[in-house]
Structure 1
Amino acid sequence: MKRPFSFKSSVQFPIMIGWLILLIIPGILFVSDLSLFPWLALDSFAAETLFWITSTGTAPYGVATVLLVLLLGYQRLERSRFFSLFLAISLSMCATLGLNHYLKPYFSEARPNAVWLEQHYLLNTDSFYTLTKVERKEKMTTAVNRIEHANTELTLAPLIKQHWQHEVGFAFPSGHTLFAITLTIVASYYLLLAGNLWIPGMLFCWSIAIGFSRMLLGMHWSQDVLASTLIGGVIGLISLLVIHKTFPFIWSMSTKLVPQLIKKNQ
């Protein structure tokens, strides 16, 4: 049987270079000790645009993003490679969600917007993060509604206010960045194998935009995005390696089992 998936250096090189560039951007901010929040006016069109970008990595819209990538892959890949892509994305997304769920309470890092609210006497992060999620949303709603009466020039657009009220968990790691980097690494590999350049390029730019949106909207620190970019890349590469090792067996089983099931149901 012809092996439908194998690692090729011609594809590995652009993937690794792209991953390195994605690491450099938050890395510079981290080393320089620069914070992008609250640099951007959060009642501006730019802020609302970033909200829609970040929403592509937020449930349930993140599911639509994965389905769109799979659809594009289905149109451009042969059947065996698309099946391999599907398995690699499924594996990497499960690993990303599980790791994100475990690490957030482990590090218990407050988000930049919560720290900012505390600095303006609108929130107490120590007590805030001991509350249930529902109670945190209520506290955050009260805090953002009091911003206009505080001694600050910051104003939140309705969409940003809604986003702050919804995102009340811990900061580290950035789940959105993990999601974007992992999906980009995995999908780009298969699409580059098929000779497609523009979709990996779009995914690369989208990953950068996701990282910036998380920092500019006050959801994450630069170290969150940096670490999540590193972890997301590792998850993506490990997922590709696992599928590379197991796919010939899975594909062989599926090509035998599916025809048998069809014949049985006829």
Structure 2
Amino acid sequence: MVLIRLEEEKKLNIIALTAGIFAGGGAIVNEHFLKTYLKVARPNIIWLAGESGSGPLGMTAEQFYEMGDKEARRSPLASVLQQDPKPILLTPSIEAHWVEETGYSFPSGHSFSAIFFATFLLMIGTTYLSIKRLWLFYFLLPWALAVCYSRPILRLHTPAGISIGGLQVTFPPS
């Protein structure tokens, strides 16, 4: 009986390690290779840039992304969002999120992560749990879809970005 438990524990550890490698590898490839290669600006930055840099940002989206890395772009963005009068009324948490998320948009890493973990945990649940406790795992799919749905609402991604981000689970880049 103890030997069976150890074998099951080994299997679960290997599965968890494999999932971590795929999730981490997918996130790294997405963030450091795909996004930097495709260079798709975030919808909020495009809106703040306006037509030919005439918006509150005072520069084009391309000029904004040429300012350096994510860290270098945060301070100018925060200054624009906090000027008086405010260019857009945001809750403090959304404003902070906009300032934090200054990287490129496409494809959505949040969508990739949410769909990956919901799918992975649902597969583990269907494999190792009884039907009586499995219903808990079905809440993961609506949660993942809510994460995906929130990204365009926050103006951080387009529907195409979240769709491709979610599809990366089916065709992982790592």
- What TM-score do you get using the length of structure 2 for normalisation? 0.81
Task: Give 1 or 2 for the bigger CA radius of gyration.
Answer: 1
Matched with 1:85 is 15
Matched with 1:128 is 64
For the 8 Å contact 1:148–1:155, the answer to whether it is kept is: no
Shift of 1:185: 1.7
- Label 1:170 to 1:130 Cα distance change in 2 as closer, same or farther (>3 A): same
The C-alpha deviation readout for 1:201-253, integer Å capped at 9, x for no partner, is: 12111111110111111110000000011112333xx99xxxxxxxxxxxxxx
Quick one: which of 141, 154, 162 aligns to 2:96? 162
The one-letter code sitting in structure 1 at the alignment partner of 2:36 is P
Q: 1:95 and 1:143 mapped to 2: Cα distance?
A: 34
Q: 2:22 and 2:122 mapped to 1: Cα distance?
A: 14
The answer to whether residue 123 in structure 2 is matched with residue 186 in structure 1 is no
* Local SS of the residue matching 1:97: helix
Identity %: 27
1:209-228 correspondence runs (5 A)? 209-228=146-165
What is the Cα-based RMSD across aligned positions, in Å?
A: 2.2
Matched with 2:37 is 106
The one-letter code sitting in structure 2 at the alignment partner of 1:160 is I
- What TM-score do you get using the length of structure 1 for normalisation? 0.55
Using CA pairs under 8 Å that are at least 6 residues apart, name the structure with larger relative contact order, 1 or 2: 1
Q: 1:226 and 1:187 mapped to 2: Cα distance?
A: 20
Q: 2:18 and 2:165 mapped to 1: Cα distance?
A: 19
Matched with 2:77 is 140
The one-letter code sitting in structure 1 at the alignment partner of 2:15 is L
* Local SS of the residue matching 1:214: helix
Q: 2:84 and 2:103 mapped to 1: Cα distance?
A: 20
The one-letter code sitting in structure 2 at the alignment partner of 1:94 is G
Q: 1:200 and 1:88 mapped to 2: Cα distance?
A: 20
For the 8 Å contact 1:108–1:170, the answer to whether it is kept is: yes
- Label 1:199 to 1:102 Cα distance change in 2 as closer, same or farther (>3 A): farther
The one-letter code sitting in structure 2 at the alignment partner of 1:222 is P
Instruction: Provide the aligned length of Structure 1 versus Structure 2.
Output: 158
Shift of 1:87: 2.1
Q: Specify every segment of 5 or more residues in structure 2 that has no aligned partner in the other structure, as ranges.
A: none
